[in-house]
């Protein structure tokens, strides 16, 4: 079967019962899609799906990863991940768009995030110790306030300590 269909990812995914042997050209409408719909839609056609008009993809890490592999999306697509996720998994997401997710970890682990301060990561430092350098790196990885209330011991150079205590985006630091 060769055909062309147009609609939202959700509507097309629900409507199409085809298998990947069919050459269905999918034209996506709308600017948002669930990763699950994109992932499943890609299995219903032998033609690569152009999802470059989709601005935001939302879903579990497994579905988002599968969707980003299964369709051609804009390099700057925004991604919202629901459910648990690790630093390594966040760092592996291939987008220059905004990443939104929630994660917890030690200061050492969270300091290895490669995201930017335009990302919307809700971060919670779970350990009781941290260096000022680690906390500064964590703060730079998100635009959301970092919860560092578990941290009871911070070491580092005076300038770095001054920076984290002056930060308005790190919460829970004692004196």
* Mean pLDDT, residues 46-59: 94
Backbone angles phi, psi at 169, to 5 degrees: -115, 10
Would you say 125 and 151 are in contact if contact means Cβ atoms under 8 Å apart? yes
Residue 39 in tokens: 């992932």
**The model's pTM:** 0.90
Quick one: 170 exposed, middle or buried, by C-beta within 10 A (0-12, 13-18, 19+)? buried
Handedness of CA 127, 132, 135, 137 (dihedral sign): negative
Would you say 36 and 30 are in contact if contact means Cβ atoms under 8 Å apart? no
Q: Predicted confidence band at 5 (pLDDT cuts at 50, 70, 90)?
A: very high
**What is the structure's pLDDT at 8?**
96
8-state DSSP, 116:
-
């Amino acid at each position: 079967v060769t055909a062309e269909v147009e609609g939202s990812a959700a509507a097309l995914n629900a409507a199409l019962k085809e298998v990947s042997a069919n050459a269905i050209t999918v034209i996506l409408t709308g600017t948002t899609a669930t990763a699950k719909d994109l992932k499943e839609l890609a299995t219903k056609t032998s033609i690569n799906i152009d999802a470059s008009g989709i601005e935001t993809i939302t879903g579990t890490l497994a579905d988002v990863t599968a969707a980003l592999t299964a369709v051609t999306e804009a390099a700057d697509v925004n991604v919202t991940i629901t459910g648990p996720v690790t630093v390594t998994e966040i760092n592996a997401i291939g987008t220059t768009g905004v990443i939104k997710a929630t994660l917890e970890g030690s200061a050492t682990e969270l300091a290895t995030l490669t995201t930017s301060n335009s990302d919307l990561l809700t971060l919670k430092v779970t350990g009781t110790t941290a260096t000022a350098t680690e906390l500064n790196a964590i703060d730079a990885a998100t635009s959301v306030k970092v919860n560092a209330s578990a941290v009871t011991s911070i070491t580092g150079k005076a300038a770095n300590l001054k920076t984290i205590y002056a930060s308005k985006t790190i919460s829970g630091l004692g004196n």
